[in-house]
Structure 1
Amino acid sequence: MTDALSERVATVGRQLRTTQQQLSDDVTAALMRGIEPLDSDPVLVAMLEASVNANVTNIVDVLANDIPLAHLQPPTAAVEYALRLAQRGIPSNALVRAYHMGQNVALRRCYEIIGEQGLATPETVALTAEVSAVLYRYIDSVTAEVFAAYEEERARWIGAQGSALSSTVHNLLAAPSSSAHRFERETGYQLDRDHRAMILWLTDDTRASLADLDRIARDAVNRTGAAGPPLIAPMDGSSLWVWIPSARHPRGSTPADVMREVSLPGGVRVAFGLVGSGVEGFCRSHEQARAAFAVASIPASPTTSVVSYDDRGIAVASMLAKDVDVTRVWVHEVLRELAADTPGTSPLRETLNRYFATGESHLRTAEQLQLHRNTVKYRIDKALAAVRPDTDRLDLALALTACEFLGPLVLSTQRT
């Protein structure tokens, strides 16, 4: 490669760096739209974003600084993401396809930059070929590394206790009617009864382990007076899916109530579904637990370490989170300037939200927020003055619930 061509490649890298975060966001969005298994779990989405950011940073550095690929190691975030996919049984072709889709998005941006340089046709062709070759070699190298890590982890996970059970559970959830008999035969867990699903997971800031989650799950089952042994399936190195059969509720308490009385280790979270009957209830209760888990995993979530689908606002928030872009626009249309993420609007939203939850009682709102009644009335009047006077009360309550549980996903960082 000539010095002139090398400098032009470096220019492409430097230009790419000016919009590096946007490129990372574009790649992540393309993968989430185009590969279904990658967008079903907020933990996986966060790991996907970290992997994409790390790979884009590497690509920019290689182009801008002419770094030999032999000097690069696959990003730690990319390897960890591959391991998590292997643990969850997501097919390896999803991983490989993700890299090729990301390469395509990055190439399109590079081609735009090359077109903006106004070079003669021979120089444009040479630069395009070189940039394409660099990206191809990088993706080929990294894909080989992360795929090897995936295969090694998958082999280890398949050989680990409970992994075959995880696969059986996935098959039942994907095809309940056709997999029920095989599921019962392979697991020994009977589906013709009531079930309550539970998900336990570890956050990043914990020293607890998968073994600790297993112990906590079994202790929870004993405390709830289950009719039989639970089904406990490890999904990856940091989460368990659990089903409790025919749980009896001592003194009228639910399993979630029981768990709230237990001192959980730091960084351990639990989500519950509702009781469901038969194979359909088995699946539906798990869907509800997944929904509660999704809300609890949102950054700055107001939920505690134990969350249940029937907790106030969880079911609604989980449905509003399924299309957060549409929800964000709707929230701004309903709340207007109240949807701004500012110190001044936060107490107004909280007070109005609690006001609706208490049946529009100033007294009970003041008692619950430990505020003077006049302060409550002032905040409510100010909040209602910020929205259209004909705004439906139900729309207001739902939009406020979205702000409470989805927070930064729907709030605006600027005043509207």
Structure 2
Amino acid sequence: MDDWLASVGAAAAADVTAPEELLGEYLPLLADAAINGRRPDSFELDAVRELGRRAAAEGVTARRAVDLYLSAAWRLWRQLPVVERSSDPEKVRRAAEAVLRVLDDAISVLVAGHQAERRAMIRQEETLRVEFVDDLLRGDADVSRMVVRAEPFGIDLGKPHQVALVAPLDEDGAADRVAIALERAVVERFGDREVLVATKDGRVVVVAPGGSVAPEVGTAIQQDLRRRELPGRWRVAAGRAFPGAYGVARSYEEALEALTFADRLGLDADVVHARDLLVYRVLGRDQAALVDLVRDVLTPLDRVRGGADVLLETLREYFAAGEVATEAARRLHVSVRTVTYRLARVAQLTGHSVAQPDQRFALHAAVLGARLLEWPGRALPAEQ
């Protein structure tokens, strides 16, 4: 490149704070067009397209790359010998037209190359994100490698994190669309580090900071869903916060289990917390023992006319009301006398009285187990 073209390129690069190397052979193309009227060949434009891809890969925005080319063009025009030495207006017009054509061609392919590279980078980033999230939630990957892989996503696996799952409750919910909106909302609320939003198995996965100073992620996400008026109805399940790479997997397992329990228990809540369902996790760990408990304690209620439903509902509301008969009566829309009669009938049939602490505990655990097993609506498994 001639010295004057080199000075043009250096000045343009300094003007827009962009690497001078991104100009490539662009300035000689402009000079050749102005002096000889030649338009670039396809291979020369292909080289400019590659420079656009290089700019994207180096983190130079499309706007800054275009500014570099525009700055170089007007600086070159001001110093063109054919313009400086000619007093022929027609000659100047032809030179300007040739330069503008090359400028238009070059910027067009420059931007196209930049956009192509950005799309490829986004696809690659999304692929890496999906793979990282899958490994992180599975919890069986090499910890040292996970720490390294987490760094580009701004995740410090030494700190506590909690996982929230956002699951559609109707057919209007599209996880991919909601994930895009939620990512913006989560970043606004928690910051652009220590958060990760992805989709998995038709649900949106949110990994957010945990600990005492962190906002309650499940409630916060549900608030953002409502505020943004996203289509469909969504349930958010939040696991507890745990430190370390395995802690993320553990929180995810809790959130997933909370969703499962919410469905099986027929909960109407839009937000469920794993900490509130721990008793169901304990009961559900030993399915055989749970079935035995429900069978031995509650199946005698089936002897009453109409089945066990009425007495079982009374027990549920009694325990939900903090074992206060007046509050249970209000919830059931019956008299307190009716509640006390039904509880006495339960004691008569089952041999377990709510007045005795050990028997009350067995009754309460059995009632929770019945709900988990969907009894009496669903028959208990046969004894083995």
Give the TM-score, by structure 2 length. Answer: 0.54
In the alignment, structure 2 segments of 5+ residues that lack a partner are: 1-122
The residue that corresponds to 2:80 in the other structure is none
- Which of 275, 281, 291 is the equivalent residue of 2:241? 275
Q: Is the 8 A contact 2:197 2:204 kept in 1?
A: yes
Q: Measure how far apart 1:239 and its partner are.
A: 1.4
Q: Is 1:245–2:209 an aligned residue pair? A: yes
Pair 326,341 (structure 1): closer, same or farther in 2 beyond 3 Å: farther
**Aligned AA (1:392):** Q
The residue that corresponds to 2:216 in the other structure is 254
- Compare CA radii of gyration and give the structure with the larger one: 2
Secondary structure in 2 matching 1:310: helix
CA root-mean-square deviation: 3.8
Pair 206,265 (structure 1): closer, same or farther in 2 beyond 3 Å: same
The equivalences for 1:397-416 within 5 A come to 397-408=364-375, 411-412=378-379
**Aligned AA (1:230):** V
**Aligned AA (1:375):** T
**Aligned AA (1:286):** Y
Q: Distance in 1 between matches of 2:272 and 2:350?
A: 31
Q: Is the 8 A contact 2:167 2:203 kept in 1?
A: yes
Secondary structure in 1 matching 2:164: strand
Pair 332,168 (structure 1): closer, same or farther in 2 beyond 3 Å: same
Q: Is 1:360–2:289 an aligned residue pair? A: no
Q: Is the 8 A contact 2:164 2:206 kept in 1?
A: yes
Q: Measure how far apart 1:322 and its partner are.
A: 4.2
- Which of 189, 192, 207 is the equivalent residue of 2:172? 207
Q: Distance in 1 between matches of 2:292 and 2:326?
A: 33
Q: Distance in 1 between matches of 2:252 and 2:211?
A: 15
Q: Distance in 2 between matches of 1:281 and 1:304?
A: 26
Q: Distance in 2 between matches of 1:340 and 1:269?
A: 38
The residue that corresponds to 1:218 in the other structure is 183
The residue that corresponds to 2:89 in the other structure is none
The equivalences for 1:129-144 within 5 A come to none
The residue that corresponds to 2:92 in the other structure is none
Q: Distance in 2 between matches of 1:186 and 1:340?
A: 63
Pair 336,308 (structure 1): closer, same or farther in 2 beyond 3 Å: same
Q: Is 1:165–2:165 an aligned residue pair? A: no
1:113-169: CA deviation from partner (whole Å, max 9, x where unpaired) = xxxxxxxxxxxxxxxxxxxxxxxxxxxxxxxxxxxxxxxxxxxxxx78744323223
Q: Measure how far apart 1:188 and its partner are.
A: 3.2
**Aligned AA (2:336):** R
Secondary structure in 1 matching 2:158: coil
Q: Is the 8 A contact 2:309 2:376 kept in 1?
A: no
Pair 241,372 (structure 1): closer, same or farther in 2 beyond 3 Å: same
1:330-387: CA deviation from partner (whole Å, max 9, x where unpaired) = 3212222347999642232222123234442212322344432122222222223221
The residue that corresponds to 2:146 in the other structure is 180
1:302-347: CA deviation from partner (whole Å, max 9, x where unpaired) = 3423211123xx2222343345454223321222234799964223
Q: Measure how far apart 1:289 and its partner are.
A: 0.8
- Which of 336, 339, 350 is the equivalent residue of 1:376? 339
% identical equivalent positions:
24
The residue that corresponds to 2:271 in the other structure is 306
Give the TM-score, by structure 1 length. Answer: 0.50
**Aligned AA (1:353):** R
Q: Distance in 2 between matches of 1:185 and 1:387?
A: 58
- Which of 230, 239, 248 is the equivalent residue of 2:195? 230
Q: Is the 8 A contact 1:233 1:242 kept in 2?
A: yes
1:373-413: CA deviation from partner (whole Å, max 9, x where unpaired) = 12222222222322124773222211111222441599437
Secondary structure in 2 matching 1:274: coil
Q: Distance in 2 between matches of 1:346 and 1:227?
A: 51
Secondary structure in 2 matching 1:207: coil
Pair 188,389 (structure 1): closer, same or farther in 2 beyond 3 Å: closer
Secondary structure in 1 matching 2:294: helix
Secondary structure in 2 matching 1:297: helix
**Aligned AA (2:263):** S
The residue that corresponds to 1:141 in the other structure is none
**Aligned AA (2:238):** F
Q: Is the 8 A contact 1:226 1:247 kept in 2?
A: no
Q: Measure how far apart 1:179 and its partner are.
A: 4.0
Q: Is the 8 A contact 1:271 1:307 kept in 2?
A: yes
1:33-75: CA deviation from partner (whole Å, max 9, x where unpaired) = xxxxxxxxxxxxxxxxxxxxxxxxxxxxxxxxxxxxxxxxxxx
Pair 183,365 (structure 1): closer, same or farther in 2 beyond 3 Å: farther
Q: Measure how far apart 1:278 and its partner are.
A: 3.5
Q: Distance in 1 between matches of 2:352 and 2:327?
A: 24
Q: Measure how far apart 1:259 and its partner are.
A: 4.7
Q: Distance in 1 between matches of 2:240 and 2:313?
A: 27
Q: Is the 8 A contact 1:208 1:268 kept in 2?
A: yes
